[in-house]
Structure 1
Amino acid sequence: MTPFAVAGVQMHVNALQPNVDGMIHRLDVLMARFPWTQMVLFSELAPFGPLPRFSLPLRNETLERFREAAAKHHVWLIPGSMFETAEDGRVYNTSTVIDPRGEIVAHYRKMFPFRPYEAGVEAGTGFCIFDVPEVGRFGLSICYDIWFPETTRQLTAHGVEVLLHPVLTGTTDREAELAIARATAAQFQCYVIDVNGLGAGGVGKSCVVDPTATVLHQSGGQEDMFPLELDLDYVRRQRETGMKGLGQVLKSFRDRSVDFPVYDRASGADAYLHSLGPLEIPQQGSRAGLDMGETPEIARPEPELFKGAAVPEAVNRTSGGPAPARERDERETTPSTT
């Protein structure tokens, strides 16, 4: 067994004044109550809330306070994230990993800002992977990143065993996000530590999920501190023998017989996606996507781009869109010859 104790802190976040003192106070309380904790994770944008106007340079006085707190308690500390103003003036949503000596191990810029709502925030392009000596490999993603499984795919392909996931979700899609957290744990056979805030920081419902998609802890809508001892050997066992002795997902992906042309932007395989219109906030009375006219003409990639992959029967061979209803009806009522 390789045990490691990780605690999430779900706390009220104020949008108009700093929350840093409250974070450090809660860290002090957590470590007094649960001194065996080895890593602490706060929610996305916990220090200053969700307004980019409170953005700071990457190295700042607040980060120094968090470094001191980590060293004081001898814990790994991920203090959520903060808006960062880069040297070129662009703003990122950036998380920092601090080790038990108070040293900065890594910075991570959110790869998928919640566009179109998170306007004016740039997307990061680098991944965050770090090792806890004699324990295992950890990765970091922020909120909306997890909706794109490619992000976790990249992390786990490099051996990440625990996904740290600070979020700020105060919207009606929180239940969907919880389902995604469980699916991510199962798909990639890893722990998922998902920490949301309260107030301006979210609706709570933080969770910890193990590599079999079992929810180990689920917070409600109140403040919560939840330290749990993880077993990273359990991750390795699941990946080697399959989830509950069943699906060996990572090895099956490794041994795949197909590559995916949709990831080649020049292939044309994503032509349909370009028909969906601009990425913008819906307006009152919007009829977007409800046009009852003809299906727009969509360029279909050349057959060789599929590299032998089967084309679904319900795809119109000329436009790439749905087959006409009459054609579908004829197929559905014709006995199979196979």
Structure 2
Amino acid sequence: MSRYLPILLVQAPSRRPGTDASLDGFEHEIATHLSDFGPGFEPRRMVVYPELHLCAAEGTPEERTALLESIAEPLNGSRIRRLGAIAARLGVWLLPGTICERGEDGHLYNTAPVFSPDGELVAAYRKCFPWRPFEPYRPGKRFEVFEVPGVGRVGLAVCYDIWFPEVSRQLAWMGAEVIINQAATTTCDRAQEQVLVKANAIFNQVFVVSANVAEPTGVGQSLIVDPEGRERAAMSGASAGILTDVLNLDEVERVRTFGTAGLNRVWSQFRADDPVLELPMYEGRLDPRRLS
């Protein structure tokens, strides 16, 4: 049986953080999008929103930081509980966009939560590479993958993380066959990001789903890329809209077995008797005995 993962990517403008009523509106919006599709894939359908979709902050650096300080919540706070309830009522895998988390150490983190169709918080990834000096967040210090039962493993990378190839490579080593990249790019470098999305897919022979924020603040241009770096679906502009696709994760195995373009099998490169390649920059090494 093929391992299908239905994706509903929402390219939407950021929302100002507010009351529970604003989350009611968020739930209604998702339900409206889902109503256009017949049954058959629930509870496998995955709904993906852009970075900080529910926690937009504008103004001067001081104003942004003050607002974020005022809305930050721990992962056991009311916002997380409400989002889990939304996922359960709609019966979907919900990635609502990153949120402003108050860590147990008191610092702010740009955190991507993931909720199962049962409403469980199954993953929470703290962005490792905040875009400085704009973002006031502390960087996370661990990578995050989660399992969709019967389908496969999904990894998380937030916006600027995609510029650092170590993130996607580590997620792939952890078994991710799909990487979700939630972004809030408002600047003129989205064209370069699209290249990086494709490059990370090619380097690691994985699907990459990149959801970016819509106008008036964001530049949009969300896209879904296959394990050979080809666009499966894309938004050409910044207008609000949705992308839908059904990813067959067996394609990852096909590409890794036969190679990108039927040629390049990077996951079969190493042999057990190859020399160890030292990586002094990382105080680590590539040991073929662990990769072959």
TM-score interval (norm. to shorter)? 0.7 to 0.9
| Aligned CA distance change for structure 1 residues 125 and 239 (closer, same or farther; 3 Å) | same
Q: Give the whole-Å Cα distance in 2 for the aligned partners of 1:11 and 1:137.
A: 26
2:149 maps to 133
TM-score (norm 2): 0.85
1:249 to 258, 266, 282: 266
Using the alignment, how far apart are the partners of 2:177 and 2:114 within structure 1?
16
- Of residues 19, 30, 50, the one that matches 1:43 is 50
The answer to whether the aligner puts 1:26 opposite 2:29 as a matched pair is yes
Give, in whole Å, the separation in 2 of the partners of 1:200 and 1:109.
26
What is the aligned-residue RMSD (CA, Å)?
Answer: 2.1
Displacement after TM superposition at 1:66 (Å): 1.4
Structure 2 counterpart of 1:143, from 142, 152, 159: 159
> Alignment partner for residue 259 of structure 1, among 272, 278, 292?
278
Q: Deviations over 1:107-132 (max 9, x none)?
A: 110011111221x3100011111111
Highest relative contact order (Cα 8 Å, sep 6+), 1 or 2? Answer: 2
1:208: Cα distance to partner?
0.3
- In the TM superposition, what whole-angstrom CA distance separates every residue of 1:133-192 from its partner, at most 9, and x where no partner exists? 111111111111111110111110121100011111000111110110011111110000
Q: Are the equivalent residues in 2 in contact too, given 1:170–1:200 (CA < 8 A)?
A: no
Query: In the superposition, relative to structure 1, how do residues 185 and 69 fare at CA in structure 2: closer, same or farther (>3 Å)?
Result: same
* Runs of 5+ consecutive residues of structure 2 not aligned to the other structure: 58-63, 285-292
Is 1:57–1:84's contact at 8 Å kept on the other side of the alignment?
yes
Q: 1:193 and 2:209 equivalent?
A: yes
Structure 1's unaligned 5+ residue stretches are 266-338
> Are residues 41 and 143 of structure 1, via their aligned partners in 2, closer, same or farther at CA, if it must alter by over 3 Å?
same
Kindly indicate whether the alpha-carbon contact (under 8 Å) linking 1:10 and 1:42 is maintained by their aligned counterparts in 2: yes
TM-score normalised per structure 1: 0.74
- Counterpart in the other structure of 1:65: 82
Tell me the alpha carbon deviations over residues 69-111 of structure 1, each in whole angstroms, 9 at most, x when there is no partner: 1111211111111111123211100111110111111111001
Q: What is the deviation of 1:17? A: 5.1
Cα distance in 2 for partners of 1:67, 1:241 equals 40
CA distance in 2 between counterparts of 1:243 and 1:86 reads: 41
Structure 1 residue 82 corresponds to structure 2 residue 99: yes
Of all paired residues, the percent bearing the same amino acid is 37
Q: What is the aligned residue count? A: 265
| 8 Å contact kept, 2:215–2:240 | no
Secondary structure at the aligned position of 1:68 is classed as: helix
Q: 222-231 or 247-256: which moved more?
A: 247-256
1:207/1:217 contact within 8 Å kept: yes
